[in-house]
Amino acid sequence: MLFSFAMIILVGVVFAMIMRKLGLPNLLGYLLAGIILGPFVFNMIDTTTFQISSDIRQIALMIILMRAGLNLQISDLKKVGPSAILMCFVPASFEILGLMILAPIFLHLDLLNAAILGTVLAAVSPA
């Protein structure tokens, strides 16, 4: 398992340097290394590594989100803030109001449950 981690890190760093030379983000090199070494291409990673892979993925996601958050500038957020709020608020409002109107008719829900359903739908909606 330790050899698998060393190989993943080494190949990931090499691919990250290649991506940097191409003017692409390092993250693409890391992802490409994982795909190539993983079970879908060369299957060079020890199977015991996959038992803890969910924990590693969660840690990696935390690191990626932390790095993305640290790179944010407050001036950039102020520039895109009003349009971002509108792009979030308007679709969510339409989904909630639409379900508050349609759910009592088609699903025979009361208004409170229709509002809750609309809020849940708006929270998980990709739009």
Q: What is the pLDDT of residues 3-44, one digit of tens each?
A: 888 888 899 999 999 999 999 988 899 889 988 988 888 888
> Rounded distance, CA 81 to CA 45, Å?
43
Measure the CA–CA gap between 90 and 127, rounded to whole angstroms.
Answer: 10
**What CA dihedral angle connects 56, 36, 17 and 5, to 10 degrees?**
40
Judge if pTM exceeds 0.75: no
